[in-house]
Structures are given as C-alpha cells and as structure tokens.
Chain A
C-alpha cells in the first residue's frame, strides 16, 4: 500500500510569485488536509478537502486555495507569495474527515 506522497520536495520562489504543491492520498482515503509548519513550530491547519469539497479552513488568507480531484489527490495553491510563506507544507490523508490522519514527507518552500 502506497503512503501519502508530495511533490516537489523542495521549492524556491521569489516574493509575489505563485506556487502549486501536490499531494497524492493513501489508497482508500477520501480526505486530504493541508498544514503549514514554520521553523520551530507545530503544524498549523490550512484547509481540508473531503470528497472534492472544502470541508474546513484555518486562519489563512484567500490567497491560499486548494483543489481535490476525483482520485482524491489534492493541490495547494499560494498566490502573491510573501517571505513569511517560507515553511514546510504537509499534506495528510484519512479514510474520512474525522479519521486518523497520515502525513506525507512535506514540501519545503523557501520564498526569497
């Protein structure tokens, strides 16, 4: 059984640019949650997608947006990048929206 995968592993962007991060959920999972982890902090919830619909959102501005596809993979898009967006972005999948979450390896984003 393949676990949660994320791409790319690392990314460098400049302020003002846009970025798309990708996540493939574990087989049999219909829910994907995205988290941002700044250096030295715990993960902070961005949003969750359940069966292709947004199912909850944390305290992040609208320039953070997402998508979930029919195969339950997901994208996180960030527009107008700011320096503070530099972080590890984690994706987690689960069998259902309230079930145990299993995390991918993350995408490290650096904004210069």
Chain B
C-alpha cells in the first residue's frame, strides 16, 4: 500500500536560515509527488509537484524539492525562510487504485525572528 511519512512533527528555524522538510514515501513504482502548505485555519495550497523528468522541482514562494528514488524521498527546501512561511506542510502521493491523495501527517514550521 502507498504511504507517506513526514518524520518531523514540528520544526523551528530562524528567519533567514535555510529549511529542509523531510518526506519519505512507499509506492512500488515511480510516484507523482506533491507538497502542499496550509496556513492556520486555511485550506491547502499547492507548492510544487513532481511527475517525471528533472528530479529538482521548483515551486512557488521560493521553494524547491528534490526527488531521490534511491532514498524514496522528496524533501522540500528553501534557502532563506521568511516569517510568512510559518505554516503546516504536507507531502502527498496519489492512491494508485483511486484518484485521491494520501497525505503525511504534516510538519509544522515555526519561524523565529
């Protein structure tokens, strides 16, 4: 069965510091992969997606993610975090038998001034 693991429940970084949020997946084939961001009390906004091709994917708000097949990972990165990046981040893969997304439990990002 497909699954997504986000090992870090909560991460705190200083404003201006670099960020890496981890995502590991179990899929059985080359997956499509997604990162979404959720601000407090809000819906999910798509940050970026990987379908095929270049393993380094650029997204909105200065985020990027790298697909590493050998490590079954799709980590999200940003070189310099802004206070407005404080939110919860979700990694997701599609269910191979249905059209829905399977989400990780999320990583909450706090940003220190």
Contact = CB atoms under 8 A, between A and B. Distances in A.
Contact of B100 (A42, A45, A100, A102): A45
A2 B101 CA distance: 23
B113 interface: no
Given A31-B99, A56-B98, A42 B90 contact: yes
B44 interface: yes
A89 B103 CA distance: 15
Nearest to A108: B41
A42 B43 contact: no
Contacts of A68: none
Contact of A103 (B43, B95, B102, B104): B43
A48 B98 contact: yes
B49 A106 contact: no
Contacts of A45: 95, 98, 100-102
Looking at chain A's contact residues, the main secondary structure is strand
Given A31-B99, A43-B44, A90-B44, 20 more contacts: A4-B43, A6-B43, A42-B104, A42-B105, A42-B106, A45-B95, A45-B98, A45-B100, A45-B101, A56-B97, A56-B98, A56-B100, A57-B98, A90-B43, A97-B99, A98-B99, A100-B34, A103-B36, A103-B45, A105-B42
Interface of B: 34, 36, 41-46, 49, 90, 94-95, 97-106
19 contacts: A4-B43, A33-B100, A42-B103, A42-B105, A43-B44, A43-B101, A45-B98, A48-B99, A55-B99, A56-B100, A57-B98, A90-B43, A92-B44, A97-B99, A100-B34, A100-B46, A100-B49, A101-B46, A103-B44
